[in-house]
Amino acid sequence: MTDSPPPLVRFENIQKSYDGRILVVKDLNLNVAQGEFLTMLGPSGSGKTTCLMMLAGFEPATHGEIFLKDQPINRVPPHKRGIGMVFQNYALFPHMTVAENLSFPLEVRKMDKPERERRINRALEMVQLGEFGDRRPAQLSGGQAQRVAVARALVFDPDLVLMDEPLGALDKNLREQMQYEIKHIHENLGVTVVYVTHDQSEALTMSNRIAVFNDGVIQQLAPPEDLYEKPLNAFVANFIGENNRLLGRITGVNGDSCTVDVDGGGSVVANSINIGGEGARTTLSLRPERVAINPEPGSLPNIFDANVEELIYLGDHIRTRVAVCGHDDFVVKIPNSSHHASLEVGNSVKVGWNVEDCRALDSSD
């Protein structure tokens, strides 16, 4: 067996405080592999952007050490770290042409003119802007400007590229298009990317792994599918995608499953993931697309009476809000290919789900 290569980036016991009292990053330990696309995801104030700024060198760590290619970089200034950066506001020089913007980081590195021109042309072709070298930033659309910013971050072949909410200023369609373009650039080049966003769908689309931050701590670090399908705590379950949350008390534990009396009525059998013992409070997590409408009697272990409160047509599915187990905000996503004649507001229906689709997690009372 061969040893796995060392990580490109390593955070060791990193803490950050701005006032000497409150830690905005608490004892962070995180490795980023060579060639990985890792996203730091979380709400505002969770510590994700601070971590990126410390890695870039724009903020000093209060405690701990950051390593790049096994070399400590806490005392290395930003311009000597060899890291590419892409910001939300593009940060292009308005008085320079596109080609001159891309040339700037190459001139700083004292590359000769033929090599600069070769790299500029390659970078512009990479982002499909080969004919835009003579334009100025004011002549570009938002999407084009963001492509130039990505090209400038890649033009000098950095080992690492950092992206801080780079698509936040774009409209929905353009943002989704850029997600795929950045993902394909990453796949084609194999460059390591650390990406910061608060947009869950963006993180799920682009990342090899996602670090979910809250209150300065990584709540879960996992591939996108695991985060969505297998959240380890109530915060991650609620933050990643849409989620039905039922609070209750554990009345029995049997191996990998438990029975929970839900506040408001109903006894649910759930998958035991992160719970206390019998009598402890818990949060049940259940994805809307895993709930069946009017299942056959006895076909599922959890079947309850419900009342249809709202129907919203969303093209590929119908978002159905029902009242069940004393909760009137329970959501079921029904594929548009499924037809349920009983789906009218005010009608009584049955809803049901499997044990493995309902995760019993820590209490979020």
Tens digits of residue pLDDT in 265-307: 899 999 999 998 999 999 999 999 999 999 999 999 999 999 9
Tokens standing for 245? 């949350």
> Residue 39 pairs with which residues in a beta bridge?
195, 210
> What mean pLDDT is predicted for residues 24-37?
96
Identity of residue 109: R
What is this structure's pTM? 0.90
- The whole-angstrom separation of Cα 212 and Cα 163 is 16
Position 340 pLDDT exceeds 70: no
- Residue of 79 and 338 predicted with greater confidence: 79
Alpha-carbon Rg for the chain in angstroms: 25
Residue 1: its pLDDT value, please? 46
Residue 88: its pLDDT value, please? 79
pLDDT band at 167 (very low <50, low <70, confident <90, very high): confident
Average model confidence (pLDDT) for the chain? 92
For the chain, list the strands marked E by DSSP: 9-17, 23-32, 37-41, 63-68, 71-72, 83-87, 160-164, 192-197, 209-214, 217-222, 244-254, 257-262, 267-272, 281-286, 292-293, 302-313, 317-324, 327-335, 348-353, 358-361
Residue 120: its pLDDT value, please? 94
CATH superfamily of 244-361: Nucleic acid-binding proteins (2.40.50.140)
pLDDT in tens, 202-232: 999 999 999 999 999 999 999 999 999 999 9
CATH architecture of 9-234: 3-Layer(aba) Sandwich (3.40)
Residue 128: its pLDDT value, please? 87
Position 191 pLDDT exceeds 60: yes
- Residue of 174 and 118 predicted with greater confidence: 118
Q: Where are the domains of the chain?
A: 9-234, 244-361
pLDDT in tens, 170-187: 888 888 888 998 998 899
Position 90 pLDDT exceeds 80: no
Token pair 């962070």 is found at 28
Residue 177: its pLDDT value, please? 87
Residue 23: its pLDDT value, please? 95
pLDDT band at 339 (very low <50, low <70, confident <90, very high): low
User: Do the domains at 9-234 and 244-361 have one common CATH topology?
Assistant: no
Position 166 pLDDT exceeds 70: yes
